[in-house]
Amino acid sequence: MNNVVLIGRLVRDPDMRYTPNGVAVTTFTLAVDRPFQNGGKKETDFIPIVTWRQLAENCANYLGKGRLVAVQGRIQTRQYENNEGRRIYVTEVVADTVRFLERSEKQQPDNSDPFAGEGREIEIDPGELPF
């Protein structure tokens, strides 16, 4: 069984690209605190996350640096040869689900007074009333 669940914060804004076939892929790095401390010092792991298709577009459009998210997916490894001829090994999480755990600044509620117009007369057309 290959199943991973992580909760952490984005280290930087997500990076979205498209494959040659037009499929969206977004990558980001998640900072995840370890559940224990090493000599009183909290340790953090930085996990690369990959999302595909609609999930990739949603992450690119609505996530940003510092946002708290939960990721569910699987660990995947791959390898490639770099420009210098060295074999590079990569371990990353391919996300099936990304849950946004807090609102973005764009989604923060309006704290203005909803009753600011209190006391003003409201005009209602009797023909618009449902009773």
Quote the pLDDT of residue 115: 58
pLDDT at residue 52 is higher than 80: yes
pLDDT at residue 108 is higher than 60: no
- With pLDDT > 70 as the criterion, what percentage of the chain qualifies? 78
The rounded distance, in Å, linking the Cα atoms of 123 and 34 is 59
Q: Which residue has the higher pLDDT, 37 or 15?
A: 15
> Residue 48, Cβ neighbours under 10 Å: how many?
14
With 0.85 as the threshold, say if the pTM is over it: no
pLDDT at residue 15 is higher than 70: yes
Q: What's the rounded mean pLDDT across residues 59-75? A: 95
Task: Give the 3-state DSSP-derived string for 1-25, with helices as H, strands as E and coil as C.
Answer: CCCEEEEEEECCCCEEEECCCCCEE
pLDDT at residue 104 is higher than 90: no
